[in-house]
Chains A and B, each alone.
Chain A
Amino acid sequence: MVERCKACGFCVEFCPTKVLALSSAFNSKGYHPPHVVAPEKCSGCDLCGMYCPDFAIYGQRLPVAKEAAPARTAAATNLEVARES
C-alpha cells in the first residue's frame, strides 16, 4: 500500500482531525507517504480513504476492546498495517 502512494497530500490536507502528515521516509518510487502523527485523534471517518486517488490509505472504526476504558475509535490505515507487517 505504501508503494502505491504518490504523495499528493490530499489525505493530509483534508483529514478533519489532522491525524496525518507526510513522512520524511521514501517509498521505492521516491515519494514521501503520509504517516499517522496523532492516532488518538482519528475518528475512523475514512475521508482519507475517499480522497486517496491511489487507493493507498483508508480509515476504519474498530470495535472498542472491553478492557479499554475510554471508548475511542482507533486509527487503522493500511500504511500502518504495511509498516508493521
Chain B
Amino acid sequence: MTILDVTNPVEPFLRTDRMPHIWCPGCGIGTTVNCFARALIESKIDLQSLALVSGIGCTGRVAGYVKLDSFHTTHGRAIPFATGLKLANPKLNVIVYSGDGDLSAIGGNHLIHAARRNIDLKVICVNNLIYAMTGGQTAPTTPGHAITSTSPYGTCEPAFNLPHLVEAAGAVYVARWTTFHVKQLARSIGEAFQKKGFSFIEVISPCPTLYQRRNKLGDGLDTMKYYKEKSKVKHGAPTSEVGLTMTGEIIVGKFVDRDRPDYQSLLHAQMVESLGESYVEPSETVCSCS
C-alpha cells in the first residue's frame, strides 16, 4: 500500500501533544470523545462558539485532551461553572463533559437544579458505574450486589437511575447509549446541540481496571460484547423502567425530547413583566483575550 497523505479526522479536535492519554486499555471514555469529535464534524458547529467544562475524575480529564476552550473545574462543580459561563455569555454553546461520580454524587445537587431551571447546557455523563479515579469505591450509580473497594461483600444500596432523575427534574432531552453504540451516540450529541435547554446524554462505559475486574466481568472488550448482546434500543421508553443491573438488560435510546422555556427566556420574561419598558438587557460580555 502506498503512503497516504491523510490524517485522522478527529486530530484537529485533540491536543495531540498530550497523547497517549491516561485512560486504561479497554476504557470507553476515549470512544465517547471520539464520538463527540465526530458529532462536532457532522454538525459543522463553530468551534469558537464552544466551551467544554469538566469536573474531576477519569472523565474529567476530557477537558485537557480536547482542543476547545475548556476548563477543568473543582470536584462536582462543572455544572455551576458552566451555568455562570452560559449566563455571562449566552451565545456560547456550553458542554459539560463529566463522569457519574462527579455529576451525580458530589455534583448531584447541581445536576437536578440545572435541570429544574432548564439552563441551556449539554451534559454528557460517562457512567462507568464506579468511582474510578479514586480507587473503585461505591458510587451512587453502582448497581446492587456489585463488589467495590468499599463494599467487599457487595453493595446493598439502590442505585440512581440517571435518566429518570434528570427527567423528573425537568431536562428537555434525555438519551442513553453505551460505548458500543458509537453512531447513535454521535447522532444524539448532534441532536442535543439543536435543543435549547438542559440536555442530558448518559453513556455507559466499561471500567476494566476497577469495576469489571473486581466483579469478574472480564475486560473492556468483554464488556463491549455484553453491551452488544444485552442492550435494547427503546426510544421513548419510560425512564422509570430503565434502571441498570449488573448483568441484566440495558435499555438505551432517546427517552425524552420535549420543549420547555429555558432559564434565560424565563428570566427575560420575568424582568419585562416586572420592569416593563425600563428593563435593559445586560450587554454581552466580551472576552478581553480574543
Using a CB–CB cutoff of 8 Å, the interface residues on chain A facing chain B are 1, 3-4, 6-10, 13-14, 29, 31, 36, 39, 46-47, 49-55, 58, 60, 62, 74-76, 78, 80-81, 84-85
Interface pick from B6-14, B98-106, B157-165, B275-283: B6-14
The answer to whether A76 and B4 touch across the interface, beta carbons within 8 angstroms, is yes
Residues of B within 8 A of A78 (CB): 6-8
A85's closest neighbor in chain B, by CB?
A: B3
26 contacts between A and B (CB under 8 A): A1-B8, A4-B20, A8-B26, A8-B221, A10-B224, A13-B224, A49-B8, A49-B9, A49-B10, A50-B182, A50-B183, A51-B182, A52-B31, A53-B28, A54-B21, A55-B8, A55-B11, A55-B30, A58-B8, A58-B9, A60-B6, A75-B1, A76-B4, A81-B4, A84-B3, A85-B3
Supposing A13-B224, A50-B35, A74-B1 touch, asked if A8 and B10 sit within 8 A by C-beta, the answer is no
Interface residues as binary, B1-42 with A (CB distance below 8 Å gives 1, 0 otherwise): 101101111110010000111011111111101110010000
Are B23 and A53 in contact (CB-based, < 8 A)?
A: yes
B186 at the interface (CB under 8 A from A): yes
B224 in contact with A14 (CB, 8 Å): yes
Contact (Cβ within 8 A) A55 B19: yes
B197 CB within 8 Å of chain A: no
In the bound complex, residues from chain A placing their C-beta under 8 Å from that of B25 are: 6-8, 31
- Asked if B27 and A53 sit within 8 Å, CB to CB, the answer is yes
Majority secondary structure, A binding face: loop
- B182 close to A47 (CB less than 8 A): yes
Given contacts A50-B182, A50-B186, A55-B10, A10 and B4 within 8 Å (CB-CB): no
> Which residue of chain B is the closest to A46 with respect to CB atoms?
B9
In the complex, chain A residues whose CB is within 8 Å of the CB of B3: 81, 84-85
- Complex: chain B residue closest to A6, CB-CB: B25
The 4 closest A-B pairs by CB, nearest first: A53-B30, A6-B25, A50-B182, A8-B26
By a CB distance below 8 angstroms, the chain B residues around A60 are: 4, 6, 9
Give the size range of B's interface with the partner: 35 or more
Give the residues in chain B near A52, CB-CB below 8 Å: 30-31, 34
Given contacts A8-B220, A10-B31, contact A81 B6 (CB under 8 A): yes
CB-CB under 8 A from B219, the residues of chain A are 8
Chain B residues with CB under 8 Å of chain A are: 1, 3-4, 6-11, 14, 19-21, 23-31, 33-35, 38, 180, 182-183, 186, 219-221, 224-225
Residues from chain A with a CB closer than 8 A to the CB of B11 are 55
B20: which A residues are within 8 A, CB to CB?
Answer: 3-4, 6, 29, 54
CA A57 – CA B33 in complex, angstroms? 14
A58 CA to B7 CA, complexed, in Å: 9
Question: A31–B135 Cα gap in the complex (Å)?
Answer: 24
A7, A39, A52, A62 pick with most chain B CB within 10 angstroms: A52
Complex interface: chain B residues within 8 A of A13 (CB): 221, 224-225
Chain A residue at smallest Cβ distance from B24: A6
Q: Give the residues in chain B near A3, CB-CB below 8 Å.
A: 20
Chain B nearest CB from A35 CB (Å) reads 11
